[in-house]
A = this chain, B = another copy of it.
Amino acid sequence: MERVAVIGASMTRFGQRDAWIRELLAEAGQACLEDAGVAPDEVEHLYVSNMASGEFEGQTGVPNALAQDLAAVPAYTARIDQTSSSGGAGVYAAWQSVASGASEMTMLVGGEKMTHRSTAEATDVIASLTHPVEYKHGVTLPSFAGLTARLYLDEYDAPRESLGKVAVKNHKNGLDNPHAQFRKEVDLETVLESPVVADPLRLYDFCPITDGSAALLFCPESVAREYTDDYAVVSGIGGATDTHVVHERADPTTMGGVVNSSDIAYEMAGLGPDDVDVAELHDMFTILEFLQSEDLGFFEKGEGWKAVEEGVTDRDGELPINTSGGLKSKGHPLGASGVAQVYEIYQQLIGEAGDRQVEADVGLACNVGGFGNCVTTTIMEARQ
C-alpha cells in the first residue's frame, strides 16, 4: 500500500489568545494551505481535532464553520474528539482517510480555546472525562499524576529533582520555539520551590491552560511529489486504550495505551525504539515524560529518569525529547496538542526546525488522552 505523506504544517502562537475557536482554526488552516501550496478547493476531507468547543464557548459545528472559512466547501468534514489526545486521534483519522482511498488531500486542524474560562472551570471540563466515581471523589488528572509520581519515585529510587529536570529541559527547548506559550528558562530551584499542586508535584510540573491551533496536510506519497521534494511519510501509526477507571490498572507506572499503540506503530513501520531520532511526548505532567519514554521502549522500565539526569534527552543528547518545548512550555490547547507534536516532528524531519533543529530521519509523536486512557503513537520518516 502506498504510504501517506505530510506535505504541509502550521501552528498558531500558543498562549492566551484574543480569538475564538473558529478564528484559531482558520488561522492555522490558512497557514497550512499556504505552507504546502495547496488551494482550498483541493482539500477533500477536513478534520477538526477538538475536545470541547461546546463546553468552552457554546459553539459546536466548528468543522462546518472552518470549511466555509477556508473556502473548502464541499470538502467533507467531521470533528474528532479523544479528550486530551484529540490531536493524535485526528492524525489517525486523517491518515485513515488517505490510506483508505477516501481522500487524496486531507487537512487536519486541531485547536482549543480555553483561557477565557477560569482555571477551575477549565479543569472541570477536562475532569468530565474521568470515570464518574473517580470524579465524585475528587480524583482529577493532577491527582493521578501526583499519586503516580510518588509511586514512581519510590519504586525506582528516582530523586524528586529528576522530575524537575524535565521541566527545566523543556522550558529551555521552548525558548527557541516562537509559537510557545512560555519562552522563558526556569531553573531547577524555581521548579522545586514552586507551590505544591499534588504532592510531590508542584506548579512547574504541570502544563498550562492554553489557546491555540495547529494544522497538517496529508496525501498519498505519489501526490506529495507533485507539490514538494521535502516531505515526510507516516510510516507507522497505532492507537490503544487503557482502562477508563485508572485504579484498576495492574501497574500504575506503566501506560498500557502507550505500550500497545507503539507496538502497532513500530510493527507497521518496520522500526523499533532504537531507530527513533527525535520524539515529542505528552508531558502534560513531568512524570508522564518518564513513563512514556519507558513504555515506548526508549529506556528500560524505571530508567527514564536517569536519561533525563544524564542529558540523553536534551536537544544535543542521543535522543532529544520535546524539542518543541513540550506541552510544558509550549502549552496544551487540548485538541491542538497532538497535531502540534506532529508539526514539530515534521519540521525536524524536513530540516525546518530553525534554532531547535536536530539531526533526524525518524521521529515519533505520542499523544495521551486522559491519564493514559487512550493513546495514539505516530512514527514519521523524512523523504528528501
Contact = CB atoms under 8 A, between A and B. Distances in A.
Interface of A: 1, 45-46, 51-52, 54-55, 58-61, 63-65, 67-68, 72-83, 86, 89, 92-93, 95-97, 99-102, 125, 128-132, 237-245, 256-257, 260-261, 369-370, 373-374, 376
Contacts of A92: 76, 78, 102
Contacts of A374: 63-64, 76-78
A269 B73 CA distance: 23
Nearest to A82: B78
Nearest to A58: B128
A263 to B, nearest CB: 10
Given A129-B64, A130-B61, A78 B80 contact: yes
A370 B241 contact: no
21 contacts: A55-B60, A59-B128, A60-B81, A61-B83, A61-B244, A61-B369, A63-B82, A63-B374, A64-B370, A68-B241, A74-B241, A76-B92, A77-B82, A77-B239, A79-B81, A79-B82, A93-B96, A96-B96, A96-B99, A99-B102, A102-B237
Copies assembled: 2
A242 B73 contact: yes
A260 to B, nearest CB: 5
Nearest to A52: B54
Contacts of A129: 60-61, 64
A121 to B, nearest CB: 12
A93 B67 contact: no
Contacts of A80: 78-81
Contacts of A75: 240-241
Given A60-B129, A67-B241, A1 B74 contact: no
A257 B74 contact: yes
A237 B242 CA distance: 31
Query: Which of A54, A125, A370 is packed against the most chain B CB atoms within 10 Å?
Result: A54
Contacts of A245: 68
Contacts of A376: 76
A67 B82 CA distance: 13
Contacts of A370: 61, 64
A63 B244 CA distance: 9
Given A80-B78, A100-B99, A51 B59 contact: no
Contacts of A86: 78
Given A81-B81, A96-B102, A76 B128 contact: no
Nearest to A237: B102
Nearest to A127: B60
Nearest to A261: B76
Contact of A54 (B128, B260, B261): B128
A242 B14 CA distance: 30
Contact of A60 (B76, B97, B128, B240): B128
Contact of A74 (B55, B63, B260): B260
